Amino acid sequence: MALMAGLRVPARALLRSGCWLRGAALAGAEAAAGLGAGVRRFGSQRVLVEPDPAAGVAVVKLKSPPVNSLSLELLTELVISLEKLDNDKTFRGIVLTSDLCGVFSAGLDLTELCGRSPAHYAEYWRALQELWLRLYLSGLVSVAAVNGASPAGGCLLCLSCDYRVLADSPSCVIGPNETRLGIVAPFWFKDCMVNTVGHRAAEQALQLGTLFPPAEALRVGLVDQVVPEDQVQSTALAAMARWLAIPDHARQLTKSMMRKPTADRLAKHREADVQSFVSFVSRDSIQKALQTYLEKLKQKG
């Protein structure tokens, strides 16, 4: 383990994909996009917010090493940041990205789903629902700058945004791989997939647990653009400018018209969905499958 700014970060996470070497190039790209030195950042331990008040845009960076897995803490901090931005009239759009190299988000934190109490599972699932509803229905324009792998819950975050830009790198796979872990995506994740790629492609990807490489993700419509790694954030900001050219009230009403029926399916039955998750994840067979998967991940490391 290496110690960095008070965080315990595995050395291999820092070395991943030549992160240190690429840091300078990415900082240059950020500066070119107007988000370099001098910008006052805020946020929390795991969510960094880089505001550009003049543009009305905030870049929201997940920074929960080693892989931005969606722990209860990360979910909670992200909800708080989004709520703040949603309620601040300075901002009209957010770019959601990762502060880590090579990983956007590893999806749900599997340690939250293994060996915990039913009460914990329920609290965790409520936090995930809350994040999804807030992001999916946000009045802000949301662009995902997907600069790393984005399986399962990571893919859900991207699908909840209005537009997706993915880095063109073999490690930047994205998709709903739940079935490969022996678990099942919730119906609202399925709905998001269907709304984005259509029923047939969603069904295949969900059943097979497909992780799409960038070209395939673009072909199927899971992402809107694939660009070189060092252009992900600047491309996301350029896309944002196009979306912000539309008057907010018209765009927001249209977004709500498109998305509210999907969100309402969950919003109206949240507690039943929590209970269904708790009883599913508490099953011995599911606990065993998740533990085996987690152990394999750890052995790989």
Ligand X SMILES: CCCC/C=C\CC(=O)SCCNC(=O)CCNC(=O)[C@H](O)C(C)(C)COP(=O)(O)OP(=O)(O)OC[C@H]1O[C@@H](n2cnc3c(N)ncnc32)[C@H](O)[C@@H]1OP(=O)(O)O
Of 91 and 132, nearer to ligand X (C-beta) is 132
Catalytic residue chosen out of the listed positions 77, 166, 177, 209 = 177
Task: Give the whole-angstrom CA distance, residue 72 versus residue 128.
Answer: 8
* Amino acid letter, residue 140: L
Q: Does 100 bind ligand X (CB under 6 A)?
A: no
Q: Does 209 bind ligand X (CB under 6 A)?
A: no
Catalytic residue chosen out of the listed positions 50, 77, 178, 229 = 178
Interaxial angle between packed helices 232-244 and 19-32, expressed in degrees from 0 to 180 and rounded to the nearest 10:
30
Q: Does 229 bind ligand X (CB under 6 A)?
A: no
Concerning whether 229 is annotated as a catalytic residue, the answer is no
Q: Does 152 bind ligand X (CB under 6 A)?
A: yes
Total of residues contacting ligand X (CB under 6 A): 30
The correct pick among 7, 10, 244, 267 for binding ligand X (CB under 6 A) is: 10
Binding mask 57-96 toward ligand X (x if CB under 6 A, else -) reads ---------xx-x---------------------------
Q: Does 175 bind ligand X (CB under 6 A)?
A: no
Q: Does 111 bind ligand X (CB under 6 A)?
A: yes
The correct pick among 47, 49, 60, 110 for binding ligand X (CB under 6 A) is: 110
The correct pick among 47, 59, 95, 106 for binding ligand X (CB under 6 A) is: 106
Rounded least distance, CB 128 to ligand X, Å: 8
Q: Does 298 bind ligand X (CB under 6 A)?
A: yes
Q: Does 202 bind ligand X (CB under 6 A)?
A: no
Catalytic residues: 108, 153, 177-178
Q: Which residues bind ligand X (CB under 6 A)?
A: 10, 16, 66-67, 69, 102-103, 106-111, 149, 151-153, 177-178, 181, 183-186, 280-281, 297-298, 300-301
